[in-house]
């Protein structure tokens, strides 16, 4: 049976980042993916500005920039065709102008896997892992079959599960817990004929759900619609997608002359959380650690960052030849601590967007206080700490803005939306 120091299951952003971080230490690594690349993936394709630094550390930023990807300078947000906000990313704490990458997943993931392919990591495409191998209750390998159904078993001192939302750990070790987003689905397609998108990601909230629209090329956008599944009942998915997207006049203004250029793809049961594994020899990274909801769109950053954190803990495990659950649990603690406040903020925002009246007031308040909206996108962009928003001072200023707007409306003021 073939044996490695590290076996990685999954070649998305989390798995490839783990491979590229860990190969620097000279470990003997195999990365398995059931897919043959390039493969596509339902995603908003809008990547947190903070991801650039990790791409740089991985040595892939230059090749990403060579793809000539769209760079966005901020976010446009509207609520219920009533309130509207356009905000640029603030500079980083060390004075850098921040932008976010908007790049098609088929291209990004293929680029990352090519870096793995060109390294001394063994890349096994078309290899589906169906179960773990155990020794004394600890994970010590994986088994499965390749593209022509030949069975394989591979041993590893550490197994990294980077298998995403359907990863093998969640199924075989029963680690998945559904969250409040249960029943919500996301529908996505690339759209040609988009116009006036500027350098912004467009988030439009309205009944029956919200969209994220990211420019990914000349007149080309990636459109993701998130709705409760019940609204789709009985409807044709393509028609529902088009009708709902264009049912909002702000979206119609930027997308109305074009249409989807591919079959609409869907992802079910969006949000879930994950229990930590009890056995040694196993670490989970990326979406295998849980998923909130795509509204704040930072899954790729979280995937890269979780792999970066995991690499540090794995290095210590090899240094001390200790692959026990106690040793690897350090990673769980660091990761959960780092993402804790950001997760709370994401959950608050997700509750807010389904409360039209409050949502409108908050967007109006943010629109009238550039400093607050700017900090918010810095936090969502993962380069400002969440505590800058989750504090009494921020909440009071937001509330003050809401009260001031209401007063202005009472004496006859009104806000302007683009025509």
Ligand X SMILES: Cc1cc2nc3c(=O)[nH]c(=O)nc-3n(C[C@H](O)[C@H](O)[C@H](O)COP(=O)(O)OP(=O)(O)OC[C@H]3O[C@@H](n4cnc5c(N)ncnc54)[C@H](O)[C@@H]3O)c2cc1C
- Residues lying near ligand X in the complex (CB under 6 A): 9-15, 32-35, 41-47, 128-129, 162-164, 166-168, 186, 188, 212, 224, 267, 286-288, 294, 297-301, 303
Angle between the 325-353 and 356-368 helix axes, to the nearest 10 degrees? Answer: 90
The DSSP result for 262-283, as a single string, is: S--EEE-S--EEEPPP-STTEE
Is residue 235 helix, strand or coil? Answer: coil
Q: Which helix (H) or strand (E) holds 358?
A: helix 356-368
- What is the rounded distance in angstroms from the CA atom of residue 385 to the CA atom of residue 173? 33
Minimum distance between the CB of residue 272 and ligand X, rounded to whole angstroms? 11
Would strands 200-206 and 74-79 be described as parallel, antiparallel, or unpaired? parallel
Q: Reduced to 3 states, what is the DSSP secondary structure of residue 381?
A: coil
Q: DSSP secondary structure string, 78-130?
A: EETTTEEEEEEPPPPTTSPPP-EEE--HHHHHHHHHHHHHTTTSEEEET-EEE
We find the least distance from the C-beta atom of residue 388 to ligand X, in angstroms, to be 21
Q: In angstroms, how far is CA 149 from the centroid of its own chain?
A: 32
Are the C-beta atoms of residues 209 and 232 closer than 8 Å to each other? no
Which tokens sit at 178? 């559904």
Give every strand in the sheet of 290-291, ordered side by side.
176-178, 272-274, 290-291
- Beta carbons within 8 Å of 12's beta carbon, 6+ residues apart: 41, 109, 162, 164, 286, 287, 303
Please choose, from the candidates 287, 284, 31, the residue with its C-alpha nearest in 3D space to the C-alpha of residue 164.
Answer: 287
Cα separation values, 75 from 281, 296, 329, Å: 41, 11, 37
- What's the CA gap between 108 and 95, in Å, rounded? 27
Beta strand 46-47 with 100-102 is antiparallel
- From the list 188, 261, 271, 222, the residue with the least C-alpha distance to 108 is 222
Nearest to 237 by CA among 225, 221, 248: 225
């Amino acid at each position: 049976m073939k044996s490695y120091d590290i076996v990685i299951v999954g070649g998305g952003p989390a798995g490839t980042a783990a491979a590229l971080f860990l190969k620097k230490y000279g470990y003997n690594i195999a990365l398995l993916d059931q897919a043959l690349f390039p493969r596509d993936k339902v995603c908003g394709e809008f990547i947190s500005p903070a991801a650039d630094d990790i791409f740089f550390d991985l040595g892939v930023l230059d090749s990403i920039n060579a793809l000539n990807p769209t760079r966005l300078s901020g976010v446009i947000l509207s609520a219920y065709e009533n309130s509207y906000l356009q905000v640029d990313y603030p500079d980083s704490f060390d004075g850098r102008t921040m932008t976010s990458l908007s790049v098609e997943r088929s291209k990004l993931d293929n680029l990352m896997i090519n870096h793995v392919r060109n390294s001394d990591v063994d890349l096994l495409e078309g290899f589906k892992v169906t179960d773990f191998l155990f020794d004394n209750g600890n994970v010590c390998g994986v088994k499965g079959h390749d593209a022509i159904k030949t069975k394989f078993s591979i041993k590893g001192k550490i197994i990294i599960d980077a298998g995403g939302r359907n990863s093998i750990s969640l199924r075989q070790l029963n680690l998945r817990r559904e969250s409040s987003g249960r029943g919500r689905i996301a529908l996505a397609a690339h759209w040609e004929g988009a116009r006036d998108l500027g350098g912004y990601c467009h988030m439009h909230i309205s009944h029956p759900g919200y969209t994220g629209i990211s420019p990914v090329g000349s007149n080309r956008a990636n459109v993701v619609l998130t709705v409760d599944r019940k609204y789709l009942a009985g409807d044709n998915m393509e028609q529902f997608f088009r009708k709902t997207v264009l049912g909002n006049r702000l979206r119609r203004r930027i997308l109305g002359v074009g249409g989807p250029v591919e079959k609409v793809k869907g992802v079910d049961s969006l949000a879930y959380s994950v229990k930590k594994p009890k056995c040694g020899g196993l670490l989970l990274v990326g979406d295998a650690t849980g998923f909130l909801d795509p509204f704040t769109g930072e899954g790729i950053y979280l995937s890269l960052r979780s792999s970066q954190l995991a690499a540090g803990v794995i290095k210590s495990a090899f240094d001390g030849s200790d692959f026990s659950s106690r040793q690897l649990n350090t990673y769980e603690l660091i990761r959960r601590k780092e993402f804790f406040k950001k997760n709370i903020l994401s959950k608050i925002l997700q509750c807010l967007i389904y409360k039209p009246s409050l949502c409108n007031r908050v967007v109006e308040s943010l629109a009238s206080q550039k400093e607050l909206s700017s900090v918010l996108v810095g936090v969502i962009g993962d380069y400002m700490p969440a505590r800058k928003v989750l504090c009494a001072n921020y909440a009071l200023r937001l509330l003050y803005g809401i009260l001031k707007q209401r007063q202005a409306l009472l004496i006859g003021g009104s806000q302007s939306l683009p025509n």
